[in-house]
């Protein structure tokens, strides 16, 4: 861990905003780690970013690769789907999966998935999901941007109000996910009745 500390202190002491953007670009870390990293006074001292600055720079860093990931994934899907479409059984299954849920629900689920402030539920994974699905590219980008805004907002508020304690932030994030799943379960139960 000392190499990480040394690398950032030596290279980014005067440009913490750039360090925040670079950490937010890393898959699985994204804004969920970039915000507490940039706001941490134990790491940066009095040069640590404010909550608003950390929010802005981590948001910018996390959404930069979004459109590229979607387009590259679409290209890969197009090349591999041509092989599967030749097999009629797979073509029928692909069409059935793409028509099961309403468009609005798909975009809301994508936004919710990106908004959950835990590793592997961010912009990179949401972009991969959007790329492999038949969702509109620009509507998917909008859904991912909204999810990233929500995620950055949640992480910024958690860092401000919980004194940037990573353990406490993780526990609160898990509680938020459990609450989200409970609400979703209740909605599903009431719809069936």
Half-sphere exposure of 87 (CA within 13 A, CB side): 8
Q: Tell me the C-alpha distance between 151 and 32, whole Å.
A: 8
pLDDT 10s digit of each residue in the chain, 193 long?
577 777 888 888 888 899 899 989 988 888 888 898 888 887 888 888 898 999 999 999 999 999 999 999 989 888 776 655 555 555 555 555 556 567 888 888 889 889 988 767 889 999 998 888 878 899 999 999 999 999 999 889 888 887 766 667 667 767 777 887 788 788 888 887 7
Pick from 77, 129, 76: nearest CA to 106: 129
Q: HSE, CB side, 13 Å, CA atoms: give it for residue 187.
A: 6
Query: In the chain, how many H helices and how many E strands?
Result: 11, 0
Number of domains in the chain: 1
pLDDT value for 141? 94
CB 31 within 8 A of CB 64: no
Could you tell me the maximum CA-CA distance found in the chain, to the nearest angstrom?
Answer: 63
Range of the domain at 73: 2-192
Helix (H) or strand (E) holding 3: helix 2-12
pLDDT of 139? 92
User: Under a CB-based contact definition with an 8 Å cutoff, are residues 123 and 62 in contact?
Assistant: yes
Token readout for 173 is: 């994030």
Cα-only R_g, the chain: 19
How confident is the model at residue 102, as a pLDDT?
76
């Amino acid at each position: 861990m000392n190499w990480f500390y040394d690398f950032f202190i030596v290279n980014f002491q005067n440009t913490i905003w750039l360090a925040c953007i670079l950490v937010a670009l890393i898959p699985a870390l994204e804004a969920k780690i970039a915000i507490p990293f940039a706001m941490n006074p134990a790491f940066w001292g009095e040069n640590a970013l404010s909550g608003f600055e950390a929010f802005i720079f981590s948001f910018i860093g996390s959404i930069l690769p979004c459109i590229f990931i979607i387009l590259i994934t679409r290209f890969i899907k197009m090349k591999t789907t041509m092989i599967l479409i030749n097999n009629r059984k797979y073509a029928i299954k692909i069409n059935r999966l793409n028509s099961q849920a309403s468009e609005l629900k798909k975009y809301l689920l994508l936004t919710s998935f990106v908004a959950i402030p835990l590793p592997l539920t961010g912009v990179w994974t949401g972009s991969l999901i959007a790329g492999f699905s038949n969702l509109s590219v620009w509507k998917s980008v909008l859904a991912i941007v909204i999810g990233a805004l929500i995620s950055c907002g949640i992480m910024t508020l958690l860092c401000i109000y919980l004194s940037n304690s990573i353990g406490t932030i993780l526990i609160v994030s898990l509680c938020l996910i459990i609450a989200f799943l409970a609400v979703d379960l209740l909605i599903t139960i009431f719809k069936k009745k």
